[in-house]
Chains A and B, each alone.
Chain A
């Protein structure tokens, strides 16, 4: 493979799309019990994909119990209601029902994929998983051990270490500064009561969004929604984290690891999804970092062969919108690579893009959208992205206009606001040559200190 693209880049690219001739028909469904969902009906295959998420995620993990939400995500399909773990897993496997849960920084998500012939049983299993999870001792200890094993690998991975270090130095006094994956120790500290507390405070109708794609009509979905979610409380008590902003702007931190290639993560404050300049920023980032042909890839990979992948993306997390970037290069060329990345960051701020670059970015962001809809999973992801961003159901019909309205002057104005090379917080993991730490490197929980 020749191009490295962070998944978030893809995700954000889809949020920045506009339909042209072809459009997606989205139905607004409200169940008799008041549960809302967006539906794309598609009868071409006997399959239903149901995606949903609750506001509230890893940022609500108690101090010292980081990894709690993730542990919940691994346990909901390990026994619920009358079915113990083995019986629940057997029910899923025998009917080829795919049920998965995942925790994110500020949300907790789930997805059910089932054939129409097994849908009734799938719905029952999902309802049970959400409303009466068992958290029996055997699966709790088994999944805990699995997560701890994966953390032991993760904490040796330079990319993970770089990411943990970046968030730790940027948000020292905020939940964002504590890894939502946790450490073997913090996962060990999570008790069953903590798991139940997360479920009780987070799984509630006032913080739920639902998307359905596939072999079901609006009436059928309305009935299904009440069966799955009807037993949930109307409101949840989990308190969102406070709004904040990254610290350590302009500082460079080197985390020494004896590896041949250094991993670099950079970032600074970005732009919120609800900001009117979001669309301008999306176009700008496409020009700077939208894969092959973008400025960063051209300068750092194509011309100089410094990296296999270099990236930047807008990350509008709920309480501290960010713009992030990164690369990986041999230790001897880290300083040069960071210098060019900063230089391109600065050049965009000072000069902005050209009219031709703006035109190309606009056609990319409008033209690429249908490729997100080639399967049910992609379509459901689009619906989730729109709803989680509080966009209206007619949003896709208005996107063309939003992008068409962006002028070169807008681009230059927002570029000056968005790209601040002197504000970048830089984390390097490796043995980089010629890169000095400018502030004390804090200890990163779970990462052993090297080299005495």
Chain B
């Protein structure tokens, strides 16, 4: 029956494991009206007041993610995220969580390539307590080896749920590993199972002590609060934690070497009945490649595959009837090399080669003729309107600003987004497309059914 018991984690899986297809951050600074300041110990603070309901979202973002893990420790960033709920020098495991639950709050944490974030959504009068307890675990994490051993089993089960039980996720992991020759995005956020099994208490504490410092974190508070209130509370709580040197993570990650060969991955699985096809190319990120072309690529993604009236959907799904799904995806939000993806899934009985040729024809047409002025104007209008819709959720901006801050772009990344999108030209789209759609930097991925023997 239609008990769509899809866990909330399905959404978060996109964020945690892939982080690739998320929508661009729509934003209007004059509407979100954030205030920012920095404490003496280097903690950056963003406050986004919104008084619709007497609640707040309190988030701490650490500028460390799975792409900053030591070699052989795949998954330690995410494992530490779990262990951050296991107590401090003065608080029992789970004590913080029980307190949040008792006051009707909700909490969670998530890990991506570039960041690890913790949050509580609570009634506004609980904010001082949240800040006190979050600051406590920023400085005073204290966990038992028994809890580390039990929690290791939990992350292994999490991996089985997300990845090992799902051939499409398994294949995605292989594809991403082939997309990067050296850059650490090639390693899955959850970790490789063999390395996860060996993650130790010492590994977790070393990672914590290296990276969890106030000068490597961003505090974001959205909701029914003022910047003055947050500043007063932050100085009393987080302000008491000393700063300390943190490694230069960008340097540690190294450079992605030139990619000189197109790659192609094919997987046949008896647990797949619906084939799928995709191609991705390396594309600019916040600190990688030609970042100035990111807005043009976002517009291109919208025109090529962002809606049911997009080029790929119209051509492959509606007009030619070759596909059940077709689209494109690009987000410039990460620090390192990002990807621009086009994808399609065939209708029953359609040859994958024909599907691939049809997608290539659309990409070829784009590279030859670019986009029209009408397509561009319509896409820009829609994308700017998303910024208006984004104001409707009083807590969601906390995520937008947190992600922008840890990528190093600051609030300007969000504030000026509509203007950057509005400034995109047809020539800019064509130049960006020609810069990205280069065969040698592409990975083609085909997932097919394998008839049971």
Q: Could you list which residues of chain A lie within 8 angstroms of chain B, going by C-beta atoms?
A: 1-8, 10, 21-22, 42, 44-47, 57-58, 70, 85-86, 89-90, 93-94, 96, 103-105, 113, 115, 138, 141-142, 145-146, 148-150, 152-153, 155-159, 163-164, 167, 171, 176-181, 184, 258-261, 263, 290-293, 298, 301-309, 315, 324, 326, 328-330, 360, 363-371, 373-377, 448, 450
Contact = CB atoms under 8 A, between A and B. Distances in A.
Interface string B310-321: 000010011001
Given A4-B7, A93-B309, A364 B104 contact: yes
Interface in B421-453: 452
Given A46-B388, A145-B348, A261-B157, A371 B106 contact: yes
Interface in B269-283: 270-274
B5 A159 contact: yes
Contacts of B396: 375
B249 interface: no
Contacts of A370: 53-55, 123
Contact of A104 (B2, B98, B378): B2
Contacts of B4: 7
Given A45-B388, A261-B160, A364 B318 contact: no
28 contacts: A1-B110, A6-B5, A7-B4, A42-B52, A46-B388, A93-B308, A96-B381, A103-B2, A142-B324, A149-B274, A153-B273, A156-B167, A157-B166, A163-B1, A163-B5, A167-B1, A180-B2, A260-B164, A261-B160, A292-B107, A293-B94, A302-B94, A308-B154, A328-B160, A364-B103, A369-B104, A371-B104, A374-B393
B103 A367 contact: yes
Interface stretch (B8-16, B194-202, B227-235, B352-360): B8-16
B101 interface: yes
A181 B157 contact: no
B54 A156 contact: no
Nearest to A305: B153
A58 B103 contact: no
B43 to A, nearest CB: 24
B66 interface: no
B304 interface: no
Interface stretch (B144-152, B171-179, B335-343, B405-413): B144-152
B401 to A, nearest CB: 16
B452 A308 contact: no
B160 A290 contact: no
Nearest to A49: B392
Contact of B121 (A96, A261, A371): A371
Contacts of A146: 324-325
B9 A1 contact: yes
Chain A to chain B: the 6 pairs with minimum beta-carbon distance, closest first: A367-B104, A305-B153, A368-B104, A261-B160, A152-B273, A180-B2
B157 A329 contact: yes
A432 to B, nearest CB: 13
Interface of B: 1-9, 12-13, 16, 52-55, 81-82, 85, 93-94, 97-98, 101-110, 121-123, 149-158, 160-161, 164-168, 223, 270-274, 307-309, 314, 317-318, 321, 324-325, 345, 347-348, 378, 381-382, 385-386, 388-389, 391-396, 452
Nearest to B2: A180
Contacts of A178: 1
A291 B101 contact: yes
A8 B5 contact: yes
A301 B347 CA distance: 41
Nearest to B85: A2
Contacts of A371: 53, 55, 104-106, 121-122
A358 to B, nearest CB: 12
B161 A375 contact: no
Contacts of A304: 150, 153
A196 B137 CA distance: 59
B422 to A, nearest CB: 15
B324 A145 contact: yes
B313 to A, nearest CB: 9
Nearest to A326: B5
Given A142-B321, A374-B52, A374-B393, 10 more contacts: A6-B7, A44-B52, A45-B388, A113-B389, A163-B3, A261-B164, A304-B150, A308-B158, A326-B5, A370-B55
A309 B104 contact: no
A328 B97 CA distance: 23
A374 B55 contact: yes
Contact of B385 (A96, A184, A291, A309): A96
Given A93-B308, A94-B378, A103-B2, A86 B110 contact: no
Nearest to A70: B2
Contact of A360 (B101, B166, B273): B101
Nearest to A367: B104
A22 B82 CA distance: 34
B150 A305 contact: yes
Contacts of A368: 104-106
Nearest to A103: B2
A156 to B, nearest CB: 5
Given A153-B274, A293-B94, A376-B392, A306 B153 contact: yes
A152 B106 contact: no
Contact of B161 (A90, A149, A171, A261): A261
Nearest to A163: B3
Q: Which of A263, A291, A367, A369 has the most CB of B within 10 A?
A: A367
Contacts of A377: 392
A306 B157 contact: yes
A52 B27 CA distance: 29
B309 A367 contact: no
Contacts of B452: 448, 450
Nearest to B378: A94
A171 B3 CA distance: 14
B2 A4 contact: no
A56 to B, nearest CB: 13
Nearest to B102: A360
A368 B126 CA distance: 12
A390 to B, nearest CB: 21
Contacts of B274: 149-150, 152-153
Contacts of A152: 273-274
Contact of A315 (B3, B150, B394): B3
A135 to B, nearest CB: 16
Contacts of B109: 1-2
Nearest to B95: A293
B101 A293 contact: yes
B272 A156 contact: yes
A115 B385 contact: yes
A307 B159 CA distance: 11
B16 A1 contact: yes
Q: Which of B3, B53, B158, B452 has the most CB of A within 10 A?
A: B3
B314 to A, nearest CB: 8
